[in-house]
Amino acid sequence: METAALMVVGALRGLRTASLLNVVVAHNGCLDSSINDYVQQETLCLRGEERQISLALQAIYFDSQQGEQ
């Protein structure tokens, strides 16, 4: 939902936008047990979130380099 708002505002202002989403529960999984697993595996999830941030920063850098050429 938040991504949709960012995309709309970006389009209205002529900006390029992107979004990376971190999915905690599989589409066919049990929400309650999956959330509990997420809490119990906090360290593993934190590493995944850090890798996601790193990927986003790399993508922004790569995109900025392509725009200069």
> Which two structure tokens, joined as six digits, stand for 29?
């999984």
- Decide if 19 contacts 3 (C-beta within 8 A): yes
Domain around 19: 2-67
Q: Is the pTM of this model over 0.75?
A: no
Q: How far apart are CA 23 and CA 10, in angstroms?
A: 23
Measured CA to CA in angstroms, residue 32 lies from 1, 28, 53, 58 at distances of 21, 12, 26, 34
Count the domains in the chain. 1
Kindly tell me if the per-residue pLDDT of 45 is higher than 80: no
pLDDT band at 22 (very low <50, low <70, confident <90, very high): confident
